[in-house]
Amino acid sequence: MKYYVGIDLGGTNIAVGVVNEEYEIVGRGKLKTNVPRPAEEIVDDMVKATHLALENAGVTMDQIEWIGIGSPGIANKATGVLEFSGNLDFYNVPLVGMMEDRVHKKVYLENDANAAAYAEILAGSAKGCRDAIVITLGTGVGSGIIIDGKIYSGFNYAGAELGHMGIVYGGRDCTCGRKGCFEAYCSATGLINITKDHMKKNPDSKLWELAEGDIEKVNGRIPYDGMRLGDKAATEAVDEYVNYMAYGLASCINIFQPEILCIGGGISKEGETLLAPLREKIAKEDFNKDPNKRTKLVAAKLGNDAGIIGSAFLGNLA
Ligand SMILES: [Zn+2]
């Protein structure tokens, strides 16, 4: 059995997994990232968390083929430099070199959302597909594009940020500084903002009860719960949300025509309640008119483990 290490370097946690050749995580190690800190300290903790994971797996460093790192931000896989990460407060940090000096193993680097997308084609919902898009709806929107089995990240490694595709000219403010991005409407934050608008217009809505009278308590589940109770404002909020999402996803499909489009993140737990109306709306806007050759829309399968699993196998792509 061969073993690999995947490190999901996040703004909150350094999550490490030892992964076997069947894509199973057989040992884990986790430490707080505690941002902001000097890169030296964070890399020291990445090594510590790696040793914890190895210990839990009962595997030695000698048995590891290589180590992969999935990091937020612009990860230059050619130079091994994390050029920029707002979440980590890193500028031009040579992460690969710093790790290799410490562990004496080959180390690979990739953007975390790209690595997570790669995991879905290896072991998740898109297993076996050569062309796939994976979109994660969280506080923001993470995305990865797989073309012919490889991660597409553009010439400067800053792609593939589908969350920052404009869908409304002059629309809602986005975290990136633009207005009207897909993320501003379709992230969990987007759904919460859409729901709040409908609450303000509908003081009698059950959404207020669900939020215990406090609009700041709205989360991504409340509009769906309200819709299940038959509340009109909640149903309208969800419908508006799904319309924006279908509009954006149909554009992604029209450009790439991937075999499969996987949706992950908290809201994807709604399953068919989210996916069925999306499929219907997207079908109307799909440039391809052959229903037998339509992009499959499914929920992502690997959840939070996708970052670890995808990172662990980055060496396949080198
Ligand atoms: Zn944006």
**CATH 3.30.420.40 occupies which residues in the chain?**
3-121+305-317, 128-300
* Global confidence as pTM: 0.94
Instruction: Give the mean pLDDT of the chain.
Output: 97
What is the CATH code of the structural domain delimited by 3-121+305-317?
Answer: 3.30.420.40
90 C-alpha to ligand 1 centroid (Å): 20
Name the one residue in this structure whose structure tokens are 């290799």. Answer: 100
**Sorting pLDDT into bands at 50, 70 and 90, what band is 5?**
very high
- The CATH architecture assigned to 128-300 reads 2-Layer Sandwich (3.30)
74 C-alpha to ligand 1 centroid (Å): 15
10 C-alpha to ligand 1 centroid (Å): 20
55 C-alpha to ligand 1 centroid (Å): 41
49 C-alpha to ligand 1 centroid (Å): 33
pLDDT digits (tens, 9 = 90+) for 79-101: 999 999 998 999 999 999 999 99
186 C-alpha to ligand 1 centroid (Å): 11
pLDDT digits (tens, 9 = 90+) for 30-50: 999 999 999 999 999 999 999
**Dihedral pair phi/psi, residue 199, rounded to 5°:** -65, -45
183 C-alpha to ligand 1 centroid (Å): 6
- CA separation for the pair 151, 149 (Å, rounded): 7
- CA separation for the pair 218, 222 (Å, rounded): 6
70 C-alpha to ligand 1 centroid (Å): 21
176 C-alpha to ligand 1 centroid (Å): 4
pLDDT digits (tens, 9 = 90+) for 188-247: 999 999 999 999 999 999 999 999 999 999 999 999 999 999 999 999 999 999 999 999
Give the chain as a DSSP string: --EEEEEEE-SSEEEEEEEETTS-EEEEEEEE--SS--HHHHHHHHHHHHHHHHHHHT--GGGEEEEEEEESSEEETTTTEEEEETTTTEEEE-HHHHHHHHH-S-EEEEEHHHHHHHHHHHHSTTTT-SSEEEEEESSSEEEEEEETTEEE--TTS----GGGSB-STT-SB-TTS-BSBHHHHHSHHHHHHHHHHHHHH-TT-HHHHHTTT-GGG--SSHHHHHHHTT-HHHHHHHHHHHHHHHHHHHHHHHHH--SEEEEESGGGGGTHHHHHHHHHHHHHH-S---GGGPPEEEE-SSGGGHHHHHHHTGGGG-
